[in-house]
Amino acid sequence: MALVPTTGADGAAVFTEVNMGSSDLSSTVRATVIQASTIFYDTPATLDKAERLLAEAASYGSQLVVFPEAFIGGYPRGSNFGVTIGNRTLKGKEDFRKYHAAAINVPGPEVDRLAAMAGKYKVVLVMGVIERDGYTLYCTVLFFDNQGCYLGKHRKLMPTALERIIWGFGDGSNIPVFDTPVGKVGAAICWENKMPLLRTAMYAKGIEIYCAPTADSRDVWQASMTHIALEGGCFVLSANQFCRRKDYPAPPEYVFTGTDEELTPESVVCAGGSVIISPSGAVLAGPNYDGEALITADLDLGEIARAKFDFDVVGHYARPEVLSLIVRDDPATPVCFTSDGSHK
Q: What is the DSSP letter of 194?
A: G
Residues 6+ apart with CB under 8 A from 318: 312
> Are 104 and 132 spatial neighbours (Cβ–Cβ below 8 Å)?
yes
Nearest to 39 by CA among 10, 67, 80: 10
CA distance 183 to 160: 30
β-pairing verdict for 28-35 and 64-66: parallel
> Are 38 and 71 spatial neighbours (Cβ–Cβ below 8 Å)?
yes
Helices 43-59, 109-121: axis angle to 10 degrees equals: 10
**How large is the greatest C-alpha to C-alpha distance in the chain, in angstroms?**
60
Alpha-carbon dihedral sign for residues 198, 204, 207, 208: positive
CA distance 94 to 111: 26
CA distance 125 to 152: 11
CA distance 68 to 294: 12
Helices 196-204, 221-232: axis angle to 10 degrees equals: 40
Alpha-carbon Rg for the chain in angstroms: 20
Amino acid at 147: Q
Give the helix/strand (H/E) hosting 95.
helix 90-102
Give the helix/strand (H/E) hosting 274.
strand 274-277
Which residues are known catalytic residues? 69
CA distance 100 to 261: 28
CA distance 152 to 107: 10
